[in-house]
Amino acid sequence: MPIRILSLLLILMAAAVAGGQDSQSAISSTRLSDSVLVVDGPNFERHCVAVSTGEGVVVIESLFSTDAADEARRLIESTFSEPVRAVINTHCHPDHSFGNTAFADVPIIAQSGYQARMQMVIEGWSGILTQQIDSLTAQLAETAEGSQDAASLHDALEQSRQTLDFLHNSYVLPSVYVDAGMTLTFGGKEIQVLFFGPGHTDHDLVVWVPSEKLLVMGDLLFGAGYFPYTDESLGGSTANWVATLDRLLQTCAEAEHVVPGHGKVGGLELIRAERQVFQDLLDAAAEARSRGLTLEQALEEVWLEQYRSYAWYDFRHDENLTAAWHALEELEGQTR
């Protein structure tokens, strides 16, 4: 994972651990039906989805911070007057799983690939945080005591230490791992946990609740205004992601409520729109390849102007174009 991306994630992560981010503003919620409540974290429109079954609530996604997840759980249990029975993590990215701390007493379900990937993330970030702590400590030693700079350095140092401590001592890993998916049944309600292979990461789970026509996609779906992002460092694959979207459009054609990992809840049009984003990205990469550009040259030249205003477009440009490039190589390999 490139350092500049880690840096931003670290800033966000430190803020979540220190009680910023999700907890700065109150959570909000939307009732999709008698049995389904969507609780929104305040930043980047991430969601925690609660499905009431009459025999307890199943929660999908756990938000970014303990504070927000605690608040979400209180709201969910009071809304339905039922306890949470299980949590499903769609993937290991911190903004979807740090809130596991609020659900440590119930089974937390994830795909088998989650654990090793989270271990990688923890080790990578621990190394960087340790370096950062050393660097901040050295800077502090050379800064006049009582100055504004010293106060800022102190705050940054404290946040880094808290984040490191959270990663090693508080982060709650899932307790149940599934390979190919599973079906949970509570109160006669079927909750299908599906796995389609690599996409956003290599361990993305999708949840389909047929009786509610509810499809919760984690970060396999970025809603309107968000550019999707393939995390190849965690085994993501643009080629298989696109194939998964095509499969879901067929197998879950009845879906009426489609919940993205980020962005507003909608219907199947969200999946079609993301499919188009990938098509445009793949077409642009293919056009660059047909002109004989190397990937390095394409990273300088190829921009999808129609998506420049989307959240994270510039930030994820290099990774996304690289992943699209790899997808074309993979597809060419298949047709050879």
Q: Kindly list the residues in this chain that would bind Zn ion in the complex (CB under 5 A).
A: 93, 219
Q: Nearer Cβ to Zn ion, position 4 or 291?
A: 4
Q: Which is nearer to Zn ion, 6 or 57 (CB)?
A: 6
Question: In the bound complex, what is the minimum distance in angstroms from residue 316's beta carbon to Zn ion?
Answer: 11
Q: State the DSSP code for 61.
A: -
- CB atoms closer than 10 angstroms to residue 131: 11
Smallest separation, CB 299 to Zn ion (Å)? 22
Place of tokens 């789970």: 205
Q: How many CA atoms lie within 13 A of 36 on its CB side?
A: 22
Closest distance to Zn ion from the beta carbon of 166 (Å): 18
Select 64 or 80, whichever has its Cβ closest to Zn ion.
64
CA distance 5 to 328: 24
Nearer to Zn ion, 44 or 186 (CB): 44
CB 74, min distance to Zn ion, A: 25
The single residue listed with the structure tokens 């879901």 is 248
Tell me if 55 sits within 8 A of 87, measured CB to CB.
no
Identify which of residues 75 and 245 has a Cβ nearer to Zn ion in the complex. Answer: 245
**What is d(CA 115, CA 105) in angstroms, rounded to the nearest whole number?**
18
Burial of 28 (0-12, 13-18, 19+ CB in 10 A): exposed
Angle of CA points 123, 121, 215, to nearest 5°: 160
In the complex with Zn ion, the residue whose CB is nearer, 91 or 326, is: 91
The packing angle between helices 3-17 and 114-141, to 10°, is 90
> How far apart are CB 219 and Zn ion at their closest, in Å?
3
Nearest approach, Cβ of residue 91 and Zn ion (Å):
6
Nearer to Zn ion (CB atom), residue 286 or residue 311: 311
Can you tell me which residue has the tokens 């299980």? 86
- In the bound state with Zn ion, the residue whose beta carbon lies nearer, of 97 and 160, is 97
DSSP 202: S
- The b/e string for 47-70 (b: 16+ C-beta within 10 A; e otherwise) is bbbbbbbeebbbbbbbbbbbbbbb
- 296-300: long-range contacts (C-beta < 8 A, 24 or more apart)? 298/325
Report the alpha-carbon distance of residue 320 to residue 144 in Å, rounded: 44
Instruction: DSSP letter for 62, please.
Output: -
